[in-house]
Amino acid sequence: MIKVVAKNLVKADKMDAFLDMAKVLVRETRDKDAGCIRYELVQGIDNPRLLTFLEEWEDQEALDNHMAAPHFTDIVPRLGDCLEEPGEVTLYRELL
């Protein structure tokens, strides 16, 4: 299993645009991407402009297929236009 944490610091004036696109990305991913165990967007309590995707995938192949899917390749670059700084993506594997 692969876990992904993708942190995004969104510009204050771009929150609505980011959220509108993220809703589509989350819905499309959950509906269409085989091997997706969990895919959600959470918001920082101390910093509401910190929006983080939390993901779980069955394996690397499922994650690779997600990143090649039209909904990902269309939306993710546009999400980047809403950010204060480049997003931070970290992949994890479960140890215990």
User: Hey, what are 12's tokens?
Assistant: 């204050």
Half-sphere exposure of 61 (CA within 13 A, CB side): 2
pLDDT in tens, 12-29: 999 999 999 999 999 999
pLDDT in tens, 49-96: 999 999 999 999 999 999 999 999 999 999 999 999 999 999 999 899
Angle between helices 70-80 and 15-32 (to 10 degrees): 160
CA distances from 77 to 22, 35, 37, 73, 81 (A): 12, 23, 23, 7, 7
Specify the pTM. Answer: 0.94
Nearest to 42 by CA among 69, 70, 10: 10
pLDDT of residue 58: 97
